[in-house]
Structure 1
Amino acid sequence: MANNTELDRRIRTAKPDPKRKVRIPCGEGLAAVINKGGTKKFVSRLRPLGSKDAVDFVHKPSYPDLTLKEAIKLHRALQDKVSAGIDPRQEQREIALSNWSQPTFGEIAERYFQYVVEKHKLRESTLRDYQNRYKKWIEPSIGQLKLKTIDSRACIRLLHFIREQAGNDCSNKGNGNRTASISRTVLSRVFSHAVFLGEVEVTENPTLGITDAMLDIKQQHNDKDRRFLTVDELCSAWQMLDHHRTEKYLLPVTTVAIQIALLTGMRRQEVVGMEWRELEILPDGAAIYHVPKSRMKGGISHNVYLSGFAMSLINSLPKTSERIFQSARKGEKYEHKTITKNTLNNGILSILGKRKTPRPTNMILSIEQFAPHDLRRSFATGLRTHFKAPKAMIHAMIAHGSDDKDEIEFDKTLDMIYINADESEEQHKYWKAWSDLIELNLRSDER
């Protein structure tokens, strides 16, 4: 019998026979078998206790992923089991049965989302965002795979694929980093939930060690990202929104939602989740919007002043449900839903001529591209520029967090002073002043 080095060379250089399998003996019942297609596998031929005939046991993976040295170890382990009276076939059946009963990634994901809903672990908007990304990007690729068959390489390849494919969407500003980053978070949370359920060991979580920085999908804020619009640009955007509403390119609920964001500096989820019962109507027709903590990024309830001008926009919408920005889609599925955060993104893309359906030239706003968060930044910058509002006051008005990374410096101590102190009347004056400035400029443009 040739030594292992010679055997390995013979296996490596052996060619398939189109008429039959090629068998290269490796000693003691182990052989390298080359099928007609050229795949090379190691096979142990043993006679289990009580068996009349010898039985072939195929080792995985194929050569060269499984080396000759490793195959010899596996073969000897099988020999030891047979000598001890253990039938490897029964073990294989038990393993197969165990694998068959293992949950799929999709089943664990479903249990994770149910758990999050029951325990109120995420804001509704964040949960919906996670579910949408999962359905579009993750489930089609690995939803049907057994949980334990998914390794870190599969996760990394999937995230690279998501980044590349999502980058083709113009709303992602030329790259899919954000979508890939959120998808990584979803993957990590589902596998962590599998550990929590006892389905896998902590050390079997394939997402451990996979970070945004490692995959080069970490969101970097630079000067180009910090877009803020001048009052003239904001008014031009406002008028184009009205134009799209008149020509039925956009629904009233969409245009009003964007305009309210422009007037108040609120985040998207704070706007779209607004309900009639959360509005405290004031004698002059203005209102205080009491935003529940479940809708706030920081998990703390917040109050926003809505000027009479802002309320005139809100009151122009049909009161068809308890939700102000009720989804216009038909069917039971949407009966109890609002428009989504992405509705605001799509509305802005519409007036910029960035939607898939082409817009006439006179329906396209010729200014630098912007996003909903830029309206929030424009509100904060406008208060500082036009009214010299204290920075801490602005932070309190927009419930600013240290992770917003806007051009206004964040001072947590000062911010907490304004949040805890009763500065509501002063804040209302600034909200009204900003609203009046926008309304005045809109009327000037109409003349």
Structure 2
Amino acid sequence: MTKTPGRKPITTPVEVAAFRPPKGRNKARRLVRSKHGNGLALEARADREAKSWLYRFNIGGKQFEMTLGAYPAMGLREARDAHGEAAKLVAKGIDPRKHRKAEKARNISAWTMDQAFDRWIEFYAASPGRRGGIPSPRTVMKQRGRWRVHLQKHLGGAYVRDITRRDLIDIIERVASRAREEARQCLSLLRQLLDYCEEREQIDSNPAAGLEPSKVKARPSRPRERYLKFKELQELWLALGQAAVRGGEGDRQRLTASVSNAVKLLILTGARRSEVAKMRWCEVDADAWVIPSSRMKAGVEHRIHLSKPAQMILEAQKDQVSGEYVFESNRLEGRPIHPDSITTAVARLQGRELKELDSDAPLFHLEHFTTHDLRRSVATLWTDVFQADPLLVDAMLAHAPPKLLGTYNKGKRYRMQVNVWNRWGALIDGNEVPGGNVVPLRG
């Protein structure tokens, strides 16, 4: 590369900014000093503001030239770094121009984590699990939520190939500081996602492989054991009825009739809050509520017997709603109540809806309990009061049965479940006394 006579190589950013072609010339080049050796130069043209960083090199006795970048987008330091990278390749006999083209093609075919997640979630939603069923829409929605809330901000724009084990540890520990169970679920999601990427040759190995929840503070806390005794459930039942009719626009303890009845049905059936909140009239057939597989956590259709008190709740709801949902939102016509409304109702009756506790709430005096504790309470009381077989209770709660029991004598076992639901409804309704004339219900 020809050096301009009488001009020293550029050494400072000020000289880079001031460099212009001499008067009467359309372009000019000037060497640039670099610790990586010779060959770096700056070219300026009279008809454009930007300047070009050039590198001239020799391979196999032939001289070549390439553009490293443009000033001011690439400053002097960045130009020297690019020169150093190119010079290393030349020292190995590699043409940096061809290497750049190959790297560009590799980048085009490489996935970002956002792109990988979009591909994986479609694959995940259509792939049968260990029990043979595909994930329910609710499960898929939860995975999307975890990605959006906990992971996307930190990982979304990065290339899959650049993700390191250290990156994953930092992110999962950050999630674990807020919610340990969610951190465990996020780690499971990342393992599956990166396995998917490994199988499609986006990475050589999965950086999440072998990463245990306990190593990243994601082991869930000890399972809750709180359950309500029958007397406490009676207090809740009474409070639900009073809160549904309480007046006053500013009354924090007031509940809509739909939400109050939804909590009551949850107590009568032991169903999950989402299953109750989104209950449809088309799922009810006389004294049976058949929840389709698409709405079940395990992806298997579930049948619940409706006791007399449960049927009375549905009759009351017919006067409250006009659409397809049994528990319709009072804000969004034609839409069901949100599952969180049930959680809010339970918290409100305990005075725990807001950060500031409400000691005037009707159930403030009870030991704190959650919505899911109600499901545990129902299961415990079915076992303790009616001596129902735990496996029978698991079936009533739609827990996955042991393999040998999954297809065994379903008809007989459902009749036994009906017996428990009817007696439970009578107990809640005040027509049966706990502990009196208990008949063992063994499977």
TM-score relative to the length of structure 1: 0.69
Letter in 1 for 2:111: P
Q: Does the aligned pair in 1 maintain the 2:112–2:160 contact within 8 Å?
A: yes
Residues 109 and 190 of structure 1 are in contact (CA less than 8 Å); yes or no, is this contact kept in structure 2?
A: yes
Task: Look up the SS of the partner of 1:241 in the other structure.
Answer: helix
Task: State how 1:425-436 maps to structure 2 within 5 Å.
Answer: 425-436=415-426
What is the alpha-carbon distance in structure 2 between the residues aligned to residue 52 and residue 310 of structure 1? Answer: 82
Query: Could you tell me how far 1:252 is from its partner in structure 2?
Result: 3.3
Secondary structure of 1:134's counterpart equals helix
Higher helix fraction (1 or 2): 1
Q: Which residue of 1 aligns with 2:99?
A: 91
Offset from partner CA, 1:351-404 (integer Å, 9 cap, x none)? 2222236564322522122223322221122122222223333233223347xx
Q: Distance in 2 between matches of 1:297 and 1:260?
A: 19
SS in 1 for 2:266: helix
Tell me the equivalent position of 2:207. 206
Report what 2:137 is aligned to: 124
Q: How does 1:277-296 map to 2 (within 5 A)?
A: 277-281=282-286, 287-296=287-296
What is the letter of the counterpart of residue 432 of structure 1? Answer: N
- Residue 108 of structure 1 aligns with an amino acid whose one-letter code is A
Asked if 1:159 is matched to 2:172, the reply is yes
- Structure 2: give runs of 5+ residues left out of the alignment: 1-11, 16-32, 40-54, 69-78, 129-133, 247-252, 434-443
Partner of 1:194: 197
Judge conservation of contact 1:290–1:303 (CA < 8 Å) in 2. yes
Cα deviation for residue 288 of structure 1 reads: 0.8
Q: CA deviation at 1:303?
A: 1.5
Query: Which secondary structure state, in structure 2, belongs to the residue aligned with residue 58 of structure 1?
Result: helix
- The amino acid of 2:373's aligned partner reads D
Count of residue pairs brought into register by the alignment:
367
Ranges in structure 1 where 5+ consecutive residues have no aligned partner: 1-16, 31-44, 61-70, 167-175, 282-286, 403-410
Matches within 5 A, 1:194-273: 194-195=197-198, 198=200, 200-201=202-203, 203=205, 205-222=206-223, 225-247=224-246, 249-273=254-278
Matched, 1:323 2:325: yes
Q: How does 1:21-32 map to 2 (within 5 A)?
A: none
* 1:104 to 1:25, Cα distance in 2 relative to 1, 3 A: closer
Q: Is contact 2:426–2:432 with CA below 8 Å preserved after alignment?
A: no
Cα distance in structure 1, aligned partners of 2:155 and 2:260: 38
Q: 1:91 to 1:77 in 2, by over 3 A?
A: closer
Deviations, residues 97-123 of structure 1 (Å, cap 9, x unaligned): 532553322222233334445568311
How far has the Cα of 1:161 moved from its partner? 1.0
- Cα–Cα, structure 1 residues 217 and 308, in superposed 2: closer, same or farther, change >3 Å? same
The amino acid across from 1:330 in the alignment is L
How do 1:1-150 and structure 2 match up within 5 A?
47-49=57-59, 50-51=63-64, 58=81, 78-82=90-94, 86=95, 88-96=96-104, 98-99=106-107, 102-117=110-125, 121-150=134-163
TM superposition shift of 1:233: 0.8
Deviation, structure 1 residue 162:
1.3
- Would you say 1:350 and 2:340 are equivalent positions? no
What displacement does 1:310 show?
A: 1.2
| Conserved? CA contact 2:173–2:217, under 8 Å | no
Contact 1:241 1:255 in 2 (8 A): yes
User: 1:152-188 CA distances to partner (integer Å, 9 max, x unpaired)?
Assistant: 2112111111121x3xxxxxxxxx1111112222323
What is the deviation of 1:206?
2.5
1: distance between equivalents of 2:411 and 2:208?
Answer: 43
* SS of aligned partner of 1:363: coil
SS of residue paired to 1:47: strand
The equivalent residue for 1:361 is 359
Q: 1:195 to 1:428 in 2, by over 3 A?
A: same
Aligned partner of 2:47 in structure 1 is none
* Distance (Å, rounded) in 2 between the aligned partners of 1:321 and 1:422: 35
Deviation at 1:126, TM superposition (A): 1.4
Shift of 1:137: 1.6
Q: Once the 2 structures are TM-superposed, how far is the Cα of residue 151 of structure 1 from its aligned partner?
A: 1.9
Q: What is the identity, as a one-letter code, of the residue corresponding to 2:186? A: S
Paired with 1:291 and 1:435, the residues of 2 have a C-alpha distance of 20
Specify the alignment match of 1:7 in structure 2.
none
Higher-Rg member (1/2): 2
Asked if the contact 1:235–1:441 (Cα under 8 Å) also holds between the matched residues in 2, the reply is no
Alignment check: 8 A CA contact 2:181 2:221 kept: no
Question: SS of 1:319's equivalent?
Answer: coil
* C-alpha separation in 2, matches of 1:320 and 1:423: 35
Q: CA deviation at 1:344?
A: 3.1
Deviation at 1:59, TM superposition (A): 7.4
Cα offset for 1:250? 3.5
Q: Decide whether aligned partners of structure 1 residues 209 and 97 sit closer, same or farther in structure 2, where only a CA change above 3 A counts.
A: same
How far residue 195 of structure 1 moved from its aligned partner, in angstroms, is: 3.9
Counterpart of 2:171 in structure 1: which amino acid? L
Q: How far is 1:77 from its partner?
A: 5.2
CA contact (8 A) 2:150 2:175 kept: yes
Q: Secondary structure at the match of 1:201?
A: coil
Coordinate RMSD, CA, aligned: 4.0
Alignment-mate amino acid for residue 57 of structure 2: R
SS at match of 2:342: helix
The whole-number CA distance in structure 2 between the counterparts of 1:327 and 1:131 is: 25
Contact 1:278–1:290 (Cα < 8 Å) also in 2: yes
Q: Name 2:46's counterpart in structure 1.
A: none
Q: CA deviation at 1:79?
A: 0.5
In structure 2, the partner of 1:301 is 301
**2-side partners of 1:425 and 1:279: how far apart?**
18
CA distance in 2, matches of 1:53, 1:221: 62
Shift of 1:340: 4.5
Query: TM-score, structure 2 length as denominator?
Result: 0.69
Partner of 2:441: none
The one-letter code of the counterpart of 1:315 is E
Q: What code does the residue aligned with 2:162 have?
A: T
> Cα distance 1:202–1:343, how it changes in 2: closer, same or farther (>3 A)?
farther
TM-superposition CA deviations, 1:71-90 (whole Å, max 9, x none) = 99x976540225xxx2x144
Amino acid at match of 1:130: Q
In structure 1, the residue corresponding to 2:279 is in which secondary structure?
coil
* Structure 2 residue aligned with 1:6: none
Aligned residues of 1:46 and 1:79 also touching (Cα < 8 A): no
Matched with 2:427 is: 437
Pairing 1:176-187 to 2, within 5 Å after superposition? 176-187=179-190
**Which whole-Å CA distance do the structure 1 matches of 2:65 and 2:194 have between them?**
46
- The one-letter amino acid of 1:374's match is D
